[in-house]
Each structure stands twice: as C-alpha cells, then as structure tokens.
Homo-oligomer: A and B are copies of this chain.
C-alpha cells in the first residue's frame, strides 16, 4: 500500500517514519513490565457496559448449560409465553430481531419441539407462534435456573436495592438514550 507523502487532506505534517521511530526509541523497554494502565478507559461507560454485558451473558450460558438455551432463545420463549397467538414479525420486531434472522432461530426452537408455527386462519400469510407443552416445561425450568443461579448471583454481588437501581438506569438508557 503506497501512500503519497503529500496527499493528506488536512494541513498536518505528513507521516514521518523517522520521527515515529525516534519517538518509539524513547519508549523502548519502558513500562513497569507487568500490568498495563487502563487510564480513562475505566471511566468510559461504553467500555464498562460492554464488558459487563459479556460477563453476564457468559454466566447466563453457564447457568443454562443443562437446558441449552441462549439469552436470545430464552427471550423468545418468554415473549411467546406472555403473548401467545402473535406472529413472527411481531415477536421478532419487539425483540429487535430482523425477520430474516428470526427464521433460523425459530427453525431451531421448533426442531427441538419448544415452540410451533401455526398458519393463522385469519391471515394465511402469517404464522402464529405458541409454546408446546415441552416448551412451557422447559421455560419453567429455565426461569427457576435464572432466578436461583443467575439473578441470585447478582443480588449477592450488588444487593437487592442496588440491583433494582441498576435495572432502572439501564432501562432508562435503553429507552431514552
């Protein structure tokens, strides 16, 4: 990749490899040799938020290992249980899942006999979604696992009132940001 020395749009000096090597030389073998300084990174909301989310999902997956449910799948089952008789578009869109991507997800859940697509009699284009008996049973077990292993862990880490405050602030961000 050849970069013209004078084609930079801005008025800044062009990159000077010699200068960069000189700067780097002053820093060779510097640093305490061990832990890096996070610096302002630990004050960036996005950074901390992302890392917390990864940890929470990781823990969720561990808690659900016996049921083989991902967070997304769990949310689909919860939503279908609460809103039976809705079609794919409605369920997918309220979860922020695009319809094309929802197809494979439902194929998976249906192949495991957790939920079912039924052709609507009102509108024969759409598929009504319902939980199967097995789906209801699995979801019930999943809820118990989440409550006793996952959310309980949160409570012992933050305390119930902090956990409630955290949820409130995150909801506010999710809805009003």
Partner of A56, one of B91, B121, B177: B177
Protomer copies: 2
- Check if B78 sits within 8 Å of A24, measured CB to CB: no
Nearest-CB distance from A172 to chain B (Å)?
A: 6
- Check if A48 sits within 8 Å of B113, measured CB to CB: no
Q: Is A21 an interface residue (CB 8 A)?
A: yes
Q: Is A102 an interface residue (CB 8 A)?
A: no
Q: Is A82 an interface residue (CB 8 A)?
A: yes
Name 11 interchain pairs, CB-CB below 8 A, sorted by A.
A8-B113, A19-B133, A20-B132, A27-B128, A28-B121, A41-B79, A45-B166, A49-B53, A50-B57, A54-B96, A157-B176
